[in-house]
Structure 1
Amino acid sequence: MVSTKEQQNEAVEAEEVVTAEQMDQAPEEAVAEEAEDARYAELLKLAEENQQRYLRAQADFDNFRRRTVKEKEELGQYASMKLISQLLPVVDNFERAVAAASVNGDFESLAKGVDMIFRQLEQTLEQEGLKAMNVVGEPFNPEFHQAIMQVESDEHEEGIVVEEVQKGYILKEKVLRPAMVKVSG
């Protein structure tokens, strides 16, 4: 049998072995812990940089959005400026024609003047991309025509525009106002 003293000696030696092993591991754990702390600090710094970048990008986007809205409002307010400046000579000519007719009472020259002004107005609008539709004799198309009446016609087959009641206009490639028409039935 093993004596109690021997058992105590073995327990003390086992404790010393464990303590020595722990001593060997302690410096490795301390180095690993320091590396973890350094990595944590690096990641924290990176997260802070990313947060600052995000906040700057968000501020830049907000500024861009506000600037775009402001520019859009200004564009809407002054979009017609060019057209109106082109129409001012037409207005001036109308004023001259009315003044001349009231002084002279010559309605024939007033009619000629109004006709000239009307052609000037048409030319200005055409330069801006406005075109009158030619619809009589064309097949009815609901994208371009608004039928207000259906009439019997011996000259035209069914579904053909026979009369234009009100002119339709196209601005560039878009229908500005459909033509009011009578369609053969």
Structure 2
Amino acid sequence: MKDFKNIRAEQEEDRSSNEPANDNEGVDFTDQAVDAEEMTGALEGIQAELADQKERYLRLYAEFDNFKRRNARERAELIQTAGKEVITSLLDVLDDCDRAEKQIKEDDVHDDPIHEGVLLIFNKLKNILSAKGLKSMDCIGQEFNPDEQEALSQVPVTDEKLRGKVIDEIVKGYYLNDKIIRHAKVVVGA
């Protein structure tokens, strides 16, 4: 029986040595309070940095979104005006076509098939340019507008209604997609 009592006593000793010691023994709570304050300060610093990063992200996202919209708008504008130089160089040819058409209509020979063919070609050219966004200015009889027209001269008028209005158009003005590509050169009533 002695062995049994010795074994039991040893087991109780082992249990008592394996039991956790009281946590309050030998621990300085002031160190833990300081650590908690440091952790709280670090947490606040990290939260502030996170807020700054979120704000920076939102600004960059908005800036990138504006860039995409501006780029799309510029691309659409570039596509619309891509042929501006070609169309501008064709304006002199179009003026010659208008003069030739006017001359053909003034001639006495209206049944000439050559004249009809030339008029068809002129109309086809005008329709193609119109489909590309070219539009002529209607100036005669309108109020003079220095933003769209260039006054080459002034002519005295007897009718007060014609004063300040366009009397004659020397060179036609044109719009390309609602932007002026050539100002009209006009004579204004004075």
Report the TM-score when normalising by structure 2.
0.49
More helix by share: 1
